[in-house]
Amino acid sequence: MAGLLSSPQDRAGAVLSIDLAALTENWRILKRRCAAKDTGAVVKADGYGTGAVQAAAALKSAGCATFYVAHLDEGIAVRGAVGAGPRVVVMHGPNRGTERDFAALKLIPVLNTPEQIAGWRKYAETADILSESLVHVDTGMNRLGLTRKEFDAHIADGGFNGLHPLALMSHLACSEEAKHPLNEAQRKAFAEVLSIFRTRFPDAKASFTNSSGIFLDPAYHYDYARPGVALYGVNPTPDVPNPMLPVVRLFAKIIQVRRVDRATTVGYGATAAVPEGTKLATVSIGYADGIPRSWGAGGAGFVDGIRCPVKGRVSMDLVIFDVSNVPDSGLHPGALMEIIGSHSTVDDVATAAGTIGYEILTSLGARYHRHYLPAPTPIKKP
C-alpha cells in the first residue's frame, strides 16, 4: 500500500526465509541418487508451504522438467510459473467438466478411477485430441488408483482404448521405513501390472517413487520419480542422518519480556507452573500461523543458540517461552526467537508437536513476511 513508512519485515510478527538455492541443490542430490530417467518435483500444497510459483520457477531453472500438483488450480498456477515447456501433472485427475482446461494448458491428468478414465476418453474422442495422461493403479495404499480387479477389467474390455498414457503410476505407502514388507509387496504388484499394461501400450513409462523411495533399491525408481518433501529439507530417511539441506527458516519476534515476581502459572488454562524469578518472553507467532497447539507440550525456540522451552499453551497469535537462560542483552522487543533453523529443524518441530514435517511445512502461515534467498542463476554458454 502506498504511503507506508515501515517495511513488510518491520510490520510482520515473524519472518519466514526460503532458500531456493538449497531447494535446487536438494533436487540435484535426489537426481544424482535416483536411477529414474526423469526426477521431477512435487510442488502441490503451494510447494509444501514454501510457495509453488517460486519453487517451481527455481527448479525449472535448475533443469527440472516435470512438476506434480494435486489440483487443477495448482496446475494452472505452476504452468504460469514454468511456461509452456515442462510437464505439469495433476495428480487428482480431472473433475467432471474440467477436461478442456487440462487440454488447453497442456496439463497432464492422472486418471485415478474408472469414472475419470471414461470421462477423459469421452472428451478425447469428441475433441479429437491426443492428450497424454498417467494411469494410476493401486498396489497397496488403498487411497487412489484402479484396483487390480478394475485394472484387469479395463485391459480385458478395452477400457483403456483411446488413451495415450505417458506412464502407469502407483504410490508407496511405507517408503520411509526401508524394511517395511509392504514396499516389496507393492513393487512386485506394480511390476506385474506394468508388464500387462505394456502389452497394450509398449511405450508406456512407469512412475512409482516418492522422496523416500529414492533411498530404497534402484528397482523402486522406474522412469518418472516424484519426490516432494525431501526437496524442502525434510529427512526422507528418518532412521539415519538427514541427507538434505535445510530450506526453511522461521524466526518470530519477541514482543514483551517479563520476570515473574512469584511462583505463578502461564497462559490459557493456567497449564504451566513457573517458579519465582522465571524470565518469560511473549513471541508473535501462534496456531493461526501454523504452529500446532500440541507443540506447547514439548517445543522450544532458540535465542542466540540458547534453548527456550515453550511455557503453557500455544495461543492463536502468541507463544510464551522460558528465556531464563538468555542474557538480558539478547532479549528486547523485536529480538528474534528461532522456531525453525539451525538449532531446531522442521523435523524437530514436528517431533515435538507429535506430527510429521509434511504437516509443519504445509501449515506455514500466510502472515509471515516471506523472504526468498535466490537460487544462483545458471551461467549460459556463450
User: In the complex, which residues of this chain contact ligand PLP (CB under 6 A)?
Assistant: 42, 91, 171, 210-212, 226-230
Query: Which of 58, 254 has the CB closer to ligand PLP?
Result: 58
Reported in sequence order, the residue ranges of 86-144 that DSSP labels E, i.e. its strands, are 87-90, 107-111, 132-136
Smallest distance from the beta carbon of 156 to ligand PLP, in angstroms? 26
Is 181 buried (19+), middle (13-18) or exposed (0-12) by CB count in 10 A? exposed
Smallest distance from the beta carbon of 319 to ligand PLP, in angstroms? 27
Widest CA span in the chain: 79
Smallest distance from the beta carbon of 122 to ligand PLP, in angstroms? 25
Smallest distance from the beta carbon of 191 to ligand PLP, in angstroms? 18
44 assigned to active site: yes
DSSP 277-306: T-EEEEES--GGGT--TTHHHH-EEEETTE
**Type of residue at 87:** R
Query: Which of 169, 353 has the CB closer to ligand PLP?
Result: 169
Euclidean distance between the first and final Cα of the chain, in Å? 42
Residue 47 near residue 19, CB atoms below 8 Å:
no
Query: Which of 89, 352 has the CB closer to ligand PLP?
Result: 89
Count of CB atoms situated within 10 Å of the CB of 177: 13
Smallest distance from the beta carbon of 279 to ligand PLP, in angstroms? 40
Query: Which of 226, 253 has the CB closer to ligand PLP?
Result: 226
Please state, in angstroms and as integers, the Cα–Cα distance from residue 49 to each residue in 16, 34, 370, 373, following that order. 11, 24, 11, 15
Among 44, 60, 205, 311, which one carries the catalytic annotation?
44
Count of CB atoms situated within 10 Å of the CB of 104: 10
Smallest distance from the beta carbon of 216 to ligand PLP, in angstroms? 12
**Type of residue at 367:** R
* Residue linked to cell 507506508: 4
Count of CB atoms situated within 10 Å of the CB of 218: 12
Smallest distance from the beta carbon of 91 to ligand PLP, in angstroms? 5
φ, ψ of residue 87 to 5 degrees: the values are -75, 140
Looking at residue 245, what DSSP letter applies?
P
Among 37, 122, 188, 268, which one carries the catalytic annotation?
268
Query: Which of 69, 281 has the CB closer to ligand PLP?
Result: 69
CA nearest neighbour of 301 among 337, 256, 258, 263: 337
Query: Does residue 210 sit in helix, strand or coil?
Result: coil
Smallest distance from the beta carbon of 232 to ligand PLP, in angstroms? 8
Q: Is 83 left (phi over 0), alpha (psi -120 to 50) or beta?
A: left
Task: Record the cell numbers describing residue 358, joined without a space.
Answer: 509434511
68 assigned to active site: no
Q: Compute the radius of gyration of the chain from its Cα atoms.
A: 24
* Residue linked to cell 518441530: 349
Query: Which of 234, 314 has the CB closer to ligand PLP?
Result: 234
- Name the closest residue to ligand PLP (Cβ): 228
Q: Which residues are catalytic?
A: 44, 268
